[in-house]
Amino acid sequence: MIRVGFRFFLLALLVLSIAALLGGSLIAAASPTSVEILTVDGTIVPVIADYIDRGISQAEKNGATVCIIELNTPGGLLDSTERIVQKIMNADVPIVVYVSPKGAWAASAGTFITLSANIAAMTPGTTIGAAHPVSGGGEEIPEDQMKKIVEFSAKWMRTIAEERGRNMEQAELAVTQSKSFTDVDALGYNLIDLRADNLTSLISQINGWKVTLASGQEVIIDTTDYVTTRNEMNAVEKFLHTISDPNIAYILFTLATIGLMVEFYNPGLIFPGVAGGISLLLAFYSLGVLNAYWGGIALILLAVGLFIAEYFTTSFGLLTAGGVIALVAGSLILFSHSPGIEVNRGLIAGVTAGITAFAVFVIGAIIRGQRRRKVTGTEGMIGTIAIAKTPLAPTGTVLAQGELWTASSEGDTVAPGEEVIITKAEGLKLWVTKKLKE
């Protein structure tokens, strides 16, 4: 009787153990799968490549079922695109590139990224294509150089399409003939795998798809029961991406120009100079990231120098005119070495008009003040106090009665900020001496 009870106990223990194991398996199987989502909206620059690299690596580490990249881009830098495509094609997790939302596009660099995915999808009303290399400033690229760039890009696009089983001929036309495709066209030409109205529809449609990873492993995507995790850009990445926009970079450069002009015109205000200096540093970062052409930067800096020189030289607007020409020319060629990146022409026109108006206003105020002083006589200025705005060694600029004057020191060199006494005035020029310290 005892033996029977012991055997029954062992049998019950065995059954319970098996049930526990099966129950654990069922619980594991019933746990929701993870769908990680990255969002790219804007120009493809290094910080975007870093973000996608980090996002895909995180998805691999978390054992995600699939990683979806929502994409909306006008294009971007070739080296950043290469990094992204390599990361996608060598990922250990299925990658879906989804051109979204409606009205979005995946132009130029975005086409390479879309076609490199394991699964390429588009929202109705979106577009891909136009991947022909172009000059960011709108200038003609030398024929030999253009031919090499186009040949490389076309072969690379063809290789990506072949690897993913897509239409190589149509993909190549996006490069060689700047061909664009609507979502319907892209699906019909086998450039993408599906169309989806929204993210929920996309996740539902890819359920059960079989993809082959770079390692050769075949994976069946299971999204029967899933949870989504959005891996957004962090604060630093968002800031760097914002200032890496060519239009933002240009605006920063403009703010730096205005700030420095104001500070040179009226030394000691501090804020314009500090704001201009910070804007200039941020602008240099952006221009460096966007591979701006040094010739364009040099022309814009020359324009700034000419605008500032106008305040201290009687050129009757010639220096300002030269500054305007240099500013426009520099703006147009600023991104001539960065295919797919350009500054909005309307923004260039607005900035040029604004800076020119500011320069003309300041110069006009100086000239009007000096002419008024000449008409009413300058004798009343003799013996009054002026402040040196530039070194007087012996000639420079002083601020007298709220106006800038060309002045020469009759004695020792005068440093900026020192007080001087006006001893003589002839026409538009003053003669001064140092004020004796009490």
User: Which residues are known catalytic residues?
Assistant: 108, 148
Cα-only R_g, the chain: 33
Largest CA distance in the chain: 134
CA–CA separation, 242 vs 45, rounded Å? 11
CA–CA separation, 48 vs 262, rounded Å? 36
Please report the sign of the dihedral spanned by the C-alpha atoms of residue 151, residue 153, residue 158, residue 159: positive
- What are residue 119's DSSP bridge partners? 96
Cis amide leading into 124 (omega within 30): no
Chain center to CA of 394: 47
Comparing C-alpha atoms, which of 37, 191, 199 is closest to residue 123?
Answer: 199
CA–CA separation, 362 vs 314, rounded Å? 13
CA–CA separation, 24 vs 217, rounded Å? 26
Burial environment of residue 67 by CB neighbours within 10 A (0 to 12, 13 to 18, 19 or more):
buried
